[in-house]
Chain A
Amino acid sequence: MKIVVDRNLCESNGRCVDACPQVFELDDHDRLVILIDRPSEDLRTQVEQAVRVCPRQALHLED
């Protein structure tokens, strides 16, 4: 799976970071950094949770 973030929608609420800190991080300027843009399958549950909890729905998964 590949993580896609819509930078127009992302507002650095950081809920994705709470859901999956191995993959999502906010840098010193509060900008979202995708640490692994093609994470392994064992992270799927947490990554899908991150996508779901984003209040702005800024995240999508592509295969």
Chain B
Amino acid sequence: MNVPLSLRVNGKAVTAEVAPETLLVTFIREHLRLTGTHVGCDTAQCGACTVHVDGRAIKACNVLALQVQGQEVTTIEGITPAEGLHPMQAAFKACHGLQCGFCTPGMVMSAIDLVQHHPHGSEREIREGLEGNICRCTGYQNIVKAVAEGAKAMQA
């Protein structure tokens, strides 16, 4: 039996009827057709599904859509400006912080959240802060570099 859901996604009001077991990531990808948020695992570990809910990074595969009733969801599409790139996105590009791109939206969303809470993280702190995001391509080194540069750019 579908249940009414109403929330804001990337600044726009959204209403829908969803099966109660619908994951937030499924709602984002299938109902809203925002496919920038990815599913990489089934144990809430890889972080490819990371979005912001009321400004906090959460794993959308590990939350039911109904659990964010009335809240503000921001996806990778939502942090991308109308022109150009968000400073964190630009930092990832400049530092070659992505290869296949599959973990990248989740990585960028986690990085923005990390930097918003720890603007001057050391390399160690950045690495620990990204523990919830798995990348198989980059070996993380350029991601860490990108997060540090993105942090500086976000404070500028």
Do A and B assemble together?
Answer: no
Interface residues of B (CB under 8 A from A): none
Interface residues of A (CB under 8 A from B): none
